[in-house]
Amino acid sequence: MKNLGDKSGSRAIKPDLFISDLHLCASRPHITSAFLHFLKHTVANANALYMLGDLFDYWAGDDDVDDITHQSIIDAFSSLANSGVKLYFMHGNRDFLISSKFCTAANITLLQDPCLITLYGKSVLLSHGDGLCTDDFAYQDFRLLVRDLKWQTDFLSLPLETRKNQIETIRARSENEKSHKSAEIMDVSQDAVSHLLKKYHYPDLLIHGHTHRPNQHSIQLDGHNMIRWVLGDWYEQGSYLSCDEQGCKSNAIKTNAA
Ligand code: MN
């Protein structure tokens, strides 16, 4: 048995944290409070926070940064970043209109989806996850439309209130359509996951959200062993994945419903 020696000289390892699908909005203020508490008491002691999409329930455009809830979050991000915590954000299907004004104000780095990072010598692929739901043809068509630059430019040229109203209409329609879709269609496609893992040369980990089905899946593909972590949403409780040299662990956060 190897003696690993005296640990007294070792410094506490600051973990990297991963979250998604908070869907922050004015109608669920207790989730915003829980998130601000999480930033102050947990993220403050982390190396980095990776936000993998759907941080906000919707984002009508960066001219909405003055909203009081948005402002409190931006201030919290900015002070964390100033204290040395690295903050990363990736678009989800709800907040894909977040742009440079928000990122600059919040001191956040915008990541492309997907994005490959290295963590403690392991390759880690990050994604929101909606692009993997390829069995949902109607959604993928919608995704192509709204991710188009011309569509976004036209949409952003509308007054803020008009945009908010249009988003509400789209959401109501989407909720109605979802009630008719099977659970399988709304989950990631295994073929799409395999294709992505191959394309990125079999990363050790894939971390994504979107499906609101938190889990840890072992994947064997072409002789490679990988893990797919699915992040949880912030509805009944908050949750985050914490990774350090020892590995990754999912954690729950109690939220006090109003
Ligand atoms: Mn999503």
CA of 224 to the centre of ligand 1 (A): 28
CA atoms within 13 A on the CB side of 152: 15
Task: Name all domains of the chain by residue range, CATH numbers in brackets.
Answer: 2-254 (3.60.21.10)
CA of 44 to the centre of ligand 1 (A): 26
The pLDDT score that the predictor gives to residue 5 is 42
Q: What DSSP string runs through 199-222?
A: HTT--SEEEE-SS---EEEEEEET
The pLDDT score that the predictor gives to residue 111 is 98
Q: How far apart are CA 235 and CA 31, in angstroms?
A: 8
CA of 4 to the centre of ligand 1 (A): 44
The pLDDT score that the predictor gives to residue 2 is 42
Q: How far apart are CA 103 and CA 110, in angstroms?
A: 7
CA of 91 to the centre of ligand 1 (A): 9
The pLDDT score that the predictor gives to residue 183 is 87
Block means of pLDDT (10 residues each) for the chain, 258 residues, are 45 90 94 97 97 97 91 97 98 96 97 97 97 94 94 97 94 87 91 98 98 97 98 96 96 81
Residue tagged 């659970």 (tokens): 183
The pLDDT score that the predictor gives to residue 255 is 86
229: enclosing H helix or E strand: strand 224-230
What's the distance, CA 110 to chain centroid?
Answer: 11
CA of 9 to the centre of ligand 1 (A): 43
| Residue 206 CA: distances (Å) to CA of 10, 110, 114, 194 | 29, 18, 10, 11
CA of 195 to the centre of ligand 1 (A): 20
Q: Which long-range contacts (CB under 8 A, 24 or more apart) does 194-202 make?
A: 194/221, 196/114, 196/125, 196/127, 196/132, 197/125, 197/221, 197/224, 197/226, 198/222, 200/114, 200/116, 200/123, 200/125, 201/123, 202/226
CA of 219 to the centre of ligand 1 (A): 22
The pLDDT score that the predictor gives to residue 175 is 86
What predicted TM-score, i.e. pTM, was given to this entire model?
0.93
* Both tokens assigned to 46: 């982390």
